[in-house]
Structure 1
Amino acid sequence: MLTPALKEWDTQAQALTLGQTALLIRKGGIMETHDGFEVEHRSFLLYPTFLHQNPAELRPEFAPLLRDDPQPGAIVLPALAEVVGVWKVEEEAQARALADLQALTTDAISRRFAYRNRPWVHALLLRVRPLSAPLVLPETPQMLGCVSWVPLGEVAVDAGQPVLAEKTLEGLQSEIEARLGMTTQL
C-alpha cells in the first residue's frame, strides 16, 4: 500500500504535532490540477516543508516554532494525520472566522481564499498522532515541487496516541460547524 504525505509549512506541521492546533486551511500548490487542492486521502503523513514558508503569514503565537531546515536533503515526517472533518469554504468571511483556530493570519487566509481567482479554501480538522520516531527519508526529485500530495511508496510507521483528546476534537468540530453554518463534508 502506498503511503501519501501532505506537504505543509514546517511551522504548521509542528503546531499540529504538538497539539497547538488541529485545523488547516488549504488552497493547494501552484502545480495543483486545474481544480486545485482536493482532500484525496483520509489518512496521511505530515510532510514539513520550508519552501515558501512566510513568517508574516503566521499568527505571532506560532513564531517560536519557526526554524531552519534541520536536515537539508532529507524529509523528516513527524506524525500521522487522520481527517476528522473537511469543509469547502466558499465565503471569505467564513474562512476568516476560523483564523483563531489555526496558525495562519486572517490576511493569509484571505490571500489563499482568492488565490488564482478561485474563491474557496478547504478547512481540514485533523487527528494527529506523532510517530514513535520521526520517519526520515531522502528527498528525491519526485518529492519536489509545489504540490500538496506526495506518494511515499510503502513505508512502515508506528504512530502513538492522538495529541488531542477525542472530546477536544469533537468540540472543535462543533465550533467549526457553528462558525461555518455547515456540517462536515466527509
Structure 2
Amino acid sequence: MTSSALKEWDTQCQALTSGETALLIRKGGIMETHAGFEVEHREFLLYPTFLHQNPAELRPDFLPLLRDDPQPGRLVLPALAEVVAVHKVESLEQALALEPYQALTAGAIERRFHYRGRPWVHALLLRVRPLREPLVLTETPEMLGCVSWVPLPDVAPDAGAPVLDETELARLRAGVEAAVSR
C-alpha cells in the first residue's frame, strides 16, 4: 500500500517515468516547514504538477516534454518511485556537477541551492516503475498548494518493471556519488 505522493513538475515526472532521468534535485515548496524539504518517504507515487513549471529552468533536451495539463482537476499518477540514494548537497560546485543527470538547468539548480538563504539541496536517485494503468484521482483542495508531499488515500498501485535496469541504475549512482564527493 502507498499513501503518499511527491509533487514534481510534469516534465520531470515524464522524464523519470520514461527513464530519461533517475535523479531529482529538491529544495521544497514555499509552504514547507522552516527546515525545508525532507525525504519523508522511501516509496511514493509521482504527482505531476503544472504549477510553477518553468521552461526557462529546463535543459533544452527536456523542453519537448512540456505540455498543458491534459486533465485539469484530475490527478494522473504515472509511476511508483523508490529512493535508491539520497544526498544532502551543501556545496554549489557539487550541486552543479549533477546537471547532466537530471532535467534542470545549472541556473535552476543554483537558484534552488540558494533558496531561502539556506545553501543546500537534496539529490534523490530513484528507481521508477511505471504503473500498468495510471492511477486517476480527483484533485482535492487538500492536495493543492506548494508542498512536496501529498497524503493520498491508501492505494495499491500495480507497478511494472523499473524503467532502468539495475546495471544502468548502478552506473548512474556511481556518477552521482562521484559528483557529490568532488
Q: Structure 1 vs Structure 2: percent identity of aligned residues?
A: 74
Question: For 1:24-63, what aligned pairs fall within 5 Å after superposition?
Answer: 24-63=24-63
Question: Is 1:80–1:159's contact at 8 Å kept on the other side of the alignment?
Answer: yes
* Distance apart, 1:180 and its partner CA: 1.1
CA distance in 2: counterparts of 1:20 and 1:174, whole angstroms: 17
Superposition TM-score, scaled by structure 1 size? 0.96
Shift of 1:128: 0.2
- In the TM superposition, what are the counterparts of 1:147-162 in structure 2 within 5 Å? 147-162=147-162
Match of 1:165 in 2: 165
Q: Gaps (5+ residues) in structure 2? A: none
Matches of 1:57 and 1:148, distance apart in 2: 18
Structure 1 spans left out of the alignment, 5+ residues: none
Moved over 6 A (4+): none
Which position in structure 2 is the counterpart of 1:3?
3
- Counterpart Cα distance in 1 of 2:167 and 2:20: 15
Where does residue 138 of structure 1 map in the other structure? 138
**1:141 CA displacement:** 0.4
In 2, Cα distance between the equivalents of 1:23 and 1:140?
A: 28
| 1:135-166 Cα distance to aligned partner (Å, 9 max, x none) | 00000000000000000011121000000000
In the TM superposition, what is the alpha-carbon distance from 1:56 to its structure 2 partner? 0.3
Helix, strand or coil at the partner of 1:122: strand
Structural RMSD (CA): 0.9
* C-alpha contact 1:85 1:125 (8 A) present in aligned 2: yes
Task: Give the number of equivalent residue pairs.
Answer: 182
Cα offset, 1:2, TM superposition: 5.5
Please state how far the C-alpha of 1:78 moved relative to its aligned partner. 0.1
How far is the alpha carbon of 1:177 from its aligned partner?
Answer: 0.9
- Secondary structure of the residue that 1:137 maps to in structure 2? strand
TM-score with structure 2 length normalisation? 0.98
3-state DSSP of counterpart to 1:110: helix
Taking the TM superposition and a 5 Å limit, the aligned residue runs for 1:173-184 are: 173-181=173-181
Take 1:88 and 1:101, find their aligned partners in 2: how far apart are those partners?
A: 16
- For residues 88 and 103 of structure 1, what CA distance do their matches in structure 2 show? 18
Report what 1:21 is aligned to.
21
Using the TM superposition, give the Cα deviation of residue 41 of structure 1 relative to its aligned residue in structure 2, in angstroms: 0.4
Residue by residue over 1:67-117, the C-alpha shift from the partner in whole angstroms, topping out at 9 and shown as x without a partner, is 000000011000000000000000011000000110000000000000000
CA distance in 2, matches of 1:157, 1:177: 30
Say whether the 8 Å CA contact 2:2–2:43 is kept in structure 1. no
SS at 1:12 equivalent: helix
Residue in 1 that maps onto 2:76: 76
| Whole-Å separation in 2 of the counterparts to 1:66 and 1:12 | 9
Output the amino acid matched with 2:144: L
SS in 1 for 2:155: coil
Contact 1:46/1:81, CA 8 A, preserved across alignment: yes
Asked if structure 2 preserves the Cα contact closer than 8 Å seen for 1:2 and 1:151, the reply is no
